[in-house]
């Protein structure tokens, strides 16, 4: 029986408690939160759970093997360090930390203690994103040319992070998961239209040595909610719409071909290929259920997580460098330099 302690019972904590509770040989035994109202809620939702306002009680409990951290990002590093130092496997919400240096320190400590460090990049475990990863790896799309994401809605405004750290983190984790290449530079533009609030609309572009480009548009100020990704290859193209109940992924056999006749070099023709569209079957298992099962298997088997510390570090590095670019009016910032 793997005994789990959960720190933080706000928006995401109840979902974690529910999914850990449904896993075999796992039990959520303790929940910590600073708010008494949330602890009362936890006691109702998780029968028999011990609740406390002091997270240290969970870390100091020798019977607890796993600590999950679902608190504001500014607290992630200190809580995760304390849990790892206490010999606990750690599940930490996204973004992993506030800085790349903090992420590196957590990775180093987890490695030295032989503990699993897992970052909750939930979208990576959806059936749709797993299918994207499979299609890219198979070569069915050909050479990937672009990734174009739109993640916009009206609210929810955050007080501790801007819209890039809140929303673009999802697209960064998807991008990192489906491709076997890493971007070399990043540029970000954005604005805040509410006095005293973090940036609430932003455009981020990532550049690759191969010539591929990735663009992410995020906003808390849109009149509608949109969650789409266009993934273009030189063989086929994909539209991923996360809000539709069916056919979330559509694969289009469409593209262009350039005909260059060496005898008429001054002329260039573009041909358009228009083929069929298909929509593959997707695993509809709740992503968080798949993810918790994967994490617990890593704990049992002593193997690294698919979204372990290294994946979390890459995403935090992109976020940190995007912020640097944003603060310098979109200056191109290297992702390969410290």
CATH number for 101 = 3.40.50.720
pTM of the model: 0.93
pLDDT band at 257 (very low <50, low <70, confident <90, very high): low
Give pLDDT tens digits for 164-193: 999 999 999 999 999 999 999 999 999 999
Same domain for 176 and 108: no
pLDDT band at 155 (very low <50, low <70, confident <90, very high): confident
Q: Which helix (H) or strand (E) holds 177?
A: helix 169-178
Same domain for 76 and 161: no
Q: Is the pLDDT of residue 265 over 50?
A: no
Give pLDDT tens digits for 13-32: 999 999 999 999 999 999 99
What is the pLDDT averaged over residues 255-277?
Answer: 62
Same domain for 51 and 35: yes
Domain range for 194 = 124-251+318-334
Same domain for 327 and 207: yes
Q: Is the pLDDT of residue 270 over 70?
A: no
Write the DSSP assignment of 262-324 as a string of letters.
GGGTT--EEEEEEEEEE------S-HHHHHHHHHHHHHHHT---TTBHHHHHHHHHHHHHHHH
Poorest-pLDDT segment among 77-81, 160-164, 294-298: 160-164
310 inside domain: no
Q: Is the pLDDT of residue 262 over 70?
A: no
Q: Is the pLDDT of residue 129 over 60?
A: yes
108 inside domain: yes
pLDDT band at 50 (very low <50, low <70, confident <90, very high): very high
- Residue-averaged pLDDT of the chain: 94
192 inside domain: yes
Give pLDDT tens digits for 182-222: 999 999 999 999 888 899 999 999 999 999 999 999 999 99
In DSSP terms, which residues pair with 151 in a beta bridge? 218, 227
Same domain for 197 and 223: yes
Directed axis angle between helix 13-21 and helix 287-301, to 10°?
60
Number of structural domains found in the chain: 2
**Any idea what DSSP says for residue 115?**
-
What is the pLDDT averaged over residues 128-143?
Answer: 97
pLDDT band at 258 (very low <50, low <70, confident <90, very high): low
Q: Which helix (H) or strand (E) holds 19?
A: helix 13-21
CB atoms within 10 A of CB 276: 8
pLDDT band at 235 (very low <50, low <70, confident <90, very high): very high
Same domain for 180 and 97: no
Same domain for 134 and 91: no
226 inside domain: yes
- Residues whose CB falls within 8 Å of the CB of residue 104, separated by 6 or more in sequence, listed in order: 313
Same domain for 220 and 301: no
229 inside domain: yes
CB atoms within 10 A of CB 221: 16
Sheet holding 66-69, edge to edge: 50-52, 26-32, 2-7, 66-69, 89-93, 117-120
Same domain for 79 and 141: no
**Token output for 180:** 């076997």
Same domain for 95 and 142: no
Q: Is the pLDDT of residue 234 over 80?
A: yes
**pLDDT for position 19:** 96
Same domain for 128 and 103: no
266 inside domain: no
Q: Where are the alpha helices (DSSP H) in 22-141?
A: 36-45, 56-60, 73-85, 100-113, 127-138
Which residue matches tokens 């617990």? 296
- Decide if 305 contacts 295 (C-beta within 8 A): yes
Same domain for 326 and 191: yes
In whole angstroms, give the CA distance from residue 313 to residue 165: 13
190 inside domain: yes
């Amino acid at each position: 029986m793997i005994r789990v302690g959960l720190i933080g019972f706000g928006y995401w904590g109840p979902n974690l408690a529910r999914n850990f509770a449904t896993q075999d040989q796992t039990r959520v035994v303790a929940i910590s939160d600073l708010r008494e109202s949330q602890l009362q809620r936890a006691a109702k939702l998780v029968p028999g759970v011990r609740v406390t306002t002091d997270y240290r009680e969970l870390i100091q409990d020798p019977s607890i093997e796993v600590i999950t951290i679902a608190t504001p990002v500014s607290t992630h590093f200190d809580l995760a360090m304390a849990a790892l130092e206490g010999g606990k496997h750690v599940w930490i919400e996204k973004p992993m930390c506030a800085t790349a240096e903090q992420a590196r320190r957590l990775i180093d400590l987890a490695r030295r203690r032989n503990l699993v460090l897992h970052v909750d990049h939930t979208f990576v475990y959806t059936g749709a994103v797993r299918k994207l990863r499979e299609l890219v790896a198979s070569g069915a799309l050909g050479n990937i040319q672009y990734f174009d994401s739109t993640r916009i809605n009206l609210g929810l405004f955050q007080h501790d992070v801007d819209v890039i750290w809140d929303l673009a983190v999802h697209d960064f984790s998807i991008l990192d998961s489906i491709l076997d290449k890493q971007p070399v530079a990043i540029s970000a533009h954005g604005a805040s239209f509410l006095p005293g609030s973090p940036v609430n609309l932003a455009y981020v572009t990532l550049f690759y040595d191969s010539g591929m480009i990735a663009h992410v548009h995020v906003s808390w100020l849109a009149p509608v909610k949109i969650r789409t990704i266009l993934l273009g290859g030189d063989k086929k193209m994909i539209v991923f719409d996360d809000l539709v109940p069916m056919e979330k992924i559509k694969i289009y056999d469409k593209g262009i071909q350039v005909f260059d006749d060496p005898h008429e070099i001054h002329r260039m023709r573009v041909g358009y290929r228009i083929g069929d569209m298909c929509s593959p079957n997707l695993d509809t298992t709740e992503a968080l259920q798949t993810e918790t099962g994967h994490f617990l298997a890593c704990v049992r088997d002593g193997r690294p997580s698919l979204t372990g510390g290294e994946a979390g570090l890459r995403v935090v590095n992109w976020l940190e460098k995007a912020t640097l670019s944003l603060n310098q009016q979109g200056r191109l910032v290297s992702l390969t330099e410290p």
